[in-house]
Amino acid sequence: MKKLMLAAGLMSLMGTTAFAQMQIGVSVARFDDNGLTVMRNGMTAFDEANDDVALQVEDATDDVAKQLDQINNFIASGVDAIIVNAVDTNATEAMSNAAASAGVPLVYVNRQPINMDTLPDGQAFVASNEIESGTLAAFQMCRQLRAEGKAGGATAYVLVGQLSNQAAVQRTKDFHDVIGMDMCNFITIIDEQTANWSRDEANDLMTNWISSGEEFDAVFGNNDEMALGAIQAMKAAGISMDDVVVGGVDATSDALLAMSAGDMDVTVFQDLAGQGAGSIQTAMALANGEEVDKTVFIPFKLVTPDNLSEFQ
């Protein structure tokens, strides 16, 4: 009888432990984005390595209304915390208000919310400082153009991410700020348009630019996917990649392969997996009532052919 009671007690304890597992709802802007997939994989790896947390990860499919519904559903289901990779960073105030009203901790990851300065208690932002990303890439492109003897005048195209996204706005501003410096003001932007972070859209846009017949020396993409789309279009048009400086951001595996092949010159390593794991750690800390900085930054790192081997 004592053995049976002991076994029952252990089973009850195990059940209580499983029930105490922290539940975190995650809404990701879109699953079909390579960079966000790396971030999501970082979350999954953290989840698999830690028995005290369980994730429910949802795809918002680039739909703001759907993302807000997901957040409300997480709240209704009683999750301990919520992580959001925002579809539209201009729409985050409603998300913050919903979570704050329910008393559920909320962590934004990768994309900075528009209400960053007024985030309620129990909310935080985990990412990398976008001022670093575009600045590092643009300044290295400037240096390379000067080294290639083009300080007398060079022209560039800029591929912009989704205009509703703070990272796209900041990275484009970074490029403008760099070419406004005395050292880099020899660079003139021919045109800049959004390709919505998409390789296919960037390919189409670059093809249109090439068809105009305008000569150019550099292409800066707000992310690697768009830079890779531009490379595809240039190679299809018979343009030698030795004649164009191409830069991006994220240091995705495809971008590193392109750099190995001599097609891409500059990218910036964004530790997306680290952001994913860091967002879970931050959410757990908030759920446990711990004090957390409103902003948790994970540094960017410049990647060129010279240090490529460190990232492959």
Gap between the Cα atoms of 106 and 195, Å rounded:
30
Q: Could you read off the pLDDT of 129-140 as tens digits, one per residue? A: 999 999 999 999
Beta-carbon contacts of residue 31 (< 8 Å; ≥ 6 apart)? 37, 40, 59, 61
pLDDT at 153: 98
Beta-carbon contacts of residue 163 (< 8 Å; ≥ 6 apart)? 169, 194
Q: Could you read off the pLDDT of 150-164 as tens digits, one per residue? A: 999 999 999 999 998
Gap between the Cα atoms of 166 and 207, Å rounded:
26
How do 81-85 and 106-109 pair as beta strands? parallel
How do 267-269 and 123-127 pair as beta strands? unpaired
pLDDT at 34: 85
pLDDT at 166: 86
pTM: 0.75
15 pLDDT tier (thresholds 50, 70, 90): very low
Gap between the Cα atoms of 185 and 238, Å rounded:
29
- Going from the C-alpha of 267 to that of each of 14, 85, 128, 294, the distances in angstroms are 48, 22, 15, 28
**Statement: residue 19 has pLDDT above 90:** no
pLDDT at 187: 98
Gap between the Cα atoms of 279 and 118, Å rounded:
19
Gap between the Cα atoms of 216 and 136, Å rounded:
21
**Statement: residue 56 has pLDDT above 60:** yes
**Statement: residue 13 has pLDDT above 90:** no
pLDDT at 190: 98
Query: How large is the average pLDDT for residues 77-82?
Result: 98
170 pLDDT tier (thresholds 50, 70, 90): very high
Phi, psi dihedrals of residue 303, rounded to the nearest 5°: -125, 125
**Statement: residue 2 has pLDDT above 70:** no
5 pLDDT tier (thresholds 50, 70, 90): very low
**Tokens standing for 100?**
């704050």
Separation of CA 35 from chain center: 6
Mean pLDDT (the chain, rounded): 93
Q: Could you read off the pLDDT of 197-247 as tens digits, one per residue? A: 999 999 999 999 999 999 999 999 999 999 999 999 999 999 999 999 999
**Statement: residue 11 has pLDDT above 80:** no
Helix (H, G, I), strand (E, B) or coil at 9: helix
Using the structure block, give the residue that is written with the tokens 């400037």.
142
Burial (CB count <10 Å: 0-12, 13-18, 19+), residue 105: buried
**Tokens standing for 186?**
């020899």
pLDDT at 298: 87
pLDDT at 8: 38
pLDDT at 14: 39
**Statement: residue 141 has pLDDT above 50:** yes
Helix (H, G, I), strand (E, B) or coil at 306: coil
Gap between the Cα atoms of 164 and 67, Å rounded:
15
DSSP assignment string, 91-112: GHHHHHHHHHHHT--EEEESS-
Gap between the Cα atoms of 36 and 298, Å rounded:
16
Q: Could you read off the pLDDT of 272-296 as tens digits, one per residue? A: 999 999 999 999 999 999 999 999 9
Query: How large is the average pLDDT for residues 237-265?
Result: 97
**Statement: residue 180 has pLDDT above 50:** yes
Query: How large is the average pLDDT for residues 294-309?
Result: 95
